[in-house]
């Protein structure tokens, strides 16, 4: 690990001032940053510890039906918050699908949004990686790439964004609150993460020194609470990134879909909002045929980035299954995940 300055500010303003130095990085739980620093994939010259900043650890259920979540709220605390989980069940289910209980007890909301888009070649400092070293090339293009992107990728990078949490947030029009040297601003979560294009190292819309202070879910998002699910398919049942995932949400009135939301994970360098698929479901009956049509539209622009053509059909099946689960209704209590010792089934439902 390279030498670095360590700063522990007492206020948001002090944190922003400290982080405007080139090469600075914010530290909360460090579940991603410290791993990358230990392996040499990240080499910040200054670490700004924000863990003691006041007022960033609150969960506020708002009078209009929305919610505001501070950047330092722990993933486990948010997933288990009764009112939040009832209003936004797909978000809670996604949080509980990520990492391990130990990491969920430490990791923060802001840190989850800021975790790096990465693959094995990013971690391996002997490999060429445009995200780690701009202009170096992308060894994943001709390497082991069966888990890589099928949407929105470029010759510069084919890695996928690892977050479970961000997938339903994109579907539900969440907004990221940030503060920087020029003041405060809001960024739609759907636009927050960037596709690689020719500049893979530019992963978010944040300007240097800007700090995530919170996250908002609009009141309209709670309108999907009766029919919302998150489905994650992975190559092992515990502690693995999604090979493909989907957040599906429906509003059903009189046996007809009046509104639908869909976002996919594991298929691109950002959570992938599938608006064309949402539109085709409006006015349709909530049945397999409609959901399969939506799945076709969601993957209409997909193309392999390597040895991963299978992911396109896999994603179609995951989308269809996620919508079928959502149409059946949000369970009063989320079922145990397949890897959990509390799971009562064999794990068949973890397959698309």
In a domain, 240, yes or no: yes
Q: Which residues contact 82 (CB under 8 A, 6 or more apart)?
A: none
Give dist(CA 232, CA 46) in Å, integer.
36
In a domain, 148, yes or no: no
In a domain, 243, yes or no: yes
CB neighbour class for 273 (10 Å; exposed up to 12, middle 13-18, buried from 19)? buried
Angle CA(324)–CA(328)–CA(329) in degrees, nearest 5? 125
| 192 shares its domain with 233 | no
Check residue 229 and give its pLDDT. Answer: 97
Angle CA(129)–CA(134)–CA(140) in degrees, nearest 5? 20
| 268 shares its domain with 307 | yes
Residues 326-350 as b/e (b if ≥16 CB within 10 A, e otherwise) read: bbeebeeebeebbbeeeeeeeeeeb
In a domain, 22, yes or no: yes
| 183 shares its domain with 259 | no
In a domain, 173, yes or no: yes
| 107 shares its domain with 178 | yes
Low-confidence ranges of the chain (pLDDT < 70): 1, 336-352
Q: pTM, whole model, 2 decimals?
A: 0.95
> Is the CB of residue 95 less than 8 Å from the CB of residue 79?
yes
Domain endpoint, select from 33, 52, 71: 52
| 28 shares its domain with 167 | no
In a domain, 153, yes or no: no
Taking only Cα atoms into account, the Rg of the chain, rounded to an integer number of angstroms, comes to 20
Phi, psi of 148 (to 5 degrees): -90, -175
Residues 244-260 as b/e (b if ≥16 CB within 10 A, e otherwise) read: bbbbbbbbbeeeebeeb
| 3 shares its domain with 19 | yes
**Domain count along the chain:** 3
Check residue 45 and give its pLDDT. Answer: 96
- What is the extent of the structural domain holding 313? 224-332
Domain endpoint, select from 204, 221, 238: 221
Domain endpoint, select from 221, 240, 272: 221
| 191 shares its domain with 75 | yes
Q: Which CATH number belongs to the domain containing residue 324 in this structure?
A: 3.30.390.50
> Is the CB of residue 85 less than 8 Å from the CB of residue 79?
yes
Give dist(CA 82, CA 139) in Å, integer.
45
Six token digits for residue 242: 């999604």
In a domain, 119, yes or no: no
Q: What is the pLDDT of residues 236-251, one digit of tens each?
A: 877 889 999 999 999 9
Six token digits for residue 348: 């068949």
| 183 shares its domain with 204 | yes
| 197 shares its domain with 312 | no
| 215 shares its domain with 88 | yes
Q: Which CATH number belongs to the domain containing residue 182 in this structure?
A: 3.30.465.10
Six token digits for residue 109: 């909301």
In a domain, 106, yes or no: yes
Q: Which CATH number belongs to the domain containing residue 8 in this structure?
A: 3.30.43.10
> Is the CB of residue 150 less than 8 Å from the CB of residue 73?
no
| 190 shares its domain with 322 | no
Check residue 344 and give its pLDDT. Answer: 56
| 69 shares its domain with 217 | yes
């Amino acid at each position: 690990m390279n030498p670095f300055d360590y700063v522990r500010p007492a206020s948001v303003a002090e944190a922003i001032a400290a982080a405007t130095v080139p090469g600075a990085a914010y530290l909360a739980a460090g579940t991603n940053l410290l791993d990358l620093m230990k392996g040499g994939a990240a080499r910040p010259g200054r670490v700004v510890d924000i863990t003691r900043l006041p007022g960033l650890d609150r969960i506020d259920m708002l009078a209009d039906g929305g919610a505001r979540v501070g950047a330092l709220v722990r993933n486990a605390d948010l997933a288990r918050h009764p009112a939040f989980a009832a209003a936004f069940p797909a978000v809670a289910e996604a949080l509980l699908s990520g990492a391990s209980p130990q990491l969920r007890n430490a990791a923060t909301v802001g840190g989850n949004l800021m975790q790096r888009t990465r693959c094995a070649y990013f971690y391996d400092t002997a490999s060429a990686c445009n995200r780690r070293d701009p202009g170096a090339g992308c060894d994943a293009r001709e390497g082991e790439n069966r888990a890589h992107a099928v949407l929105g990728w470029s010759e510069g990078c084919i890695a996928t964004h690892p977050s479970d949490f961000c997938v339903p947030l994109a579907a539900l029009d969440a907004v990221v609150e940030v503060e920087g040297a020029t003041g405060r601003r809001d960024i739609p979560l759907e636009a927050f993460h960037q596709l690689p294009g020719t500049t893979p190292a530019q992963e978010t819309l944040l300007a240097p020194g800007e700090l995530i202070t919170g996250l908002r879910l609009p009141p309209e998002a709670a309108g999907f609470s009766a029919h919302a699910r998150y489905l994650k398919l992975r190559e092992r049942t515990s502690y693995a990134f999604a090979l493909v995932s989907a957040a599906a949400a429906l509003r059903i009135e009189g046996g007809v879909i009046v509104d639908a939301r869909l976002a996919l994970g594991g298929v691109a360098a950002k959570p992938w909002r599938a608006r064309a698929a949402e539109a085709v479901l409006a006015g349709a009956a909530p049945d397999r045929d409609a959901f399969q049509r939506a799945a076709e539209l969601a993957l209409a622009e997909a193309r392999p980035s390597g040895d991963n053509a299978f992911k396109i059909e896999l994603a179609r099946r995951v989308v269809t299954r996620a919508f079928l689960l959502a149409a059946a209704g949000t369970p009063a209590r989320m079922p145990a995940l397949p890897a959990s010792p509390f799971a009562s089934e064999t794990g068949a439902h973890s397959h698309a």
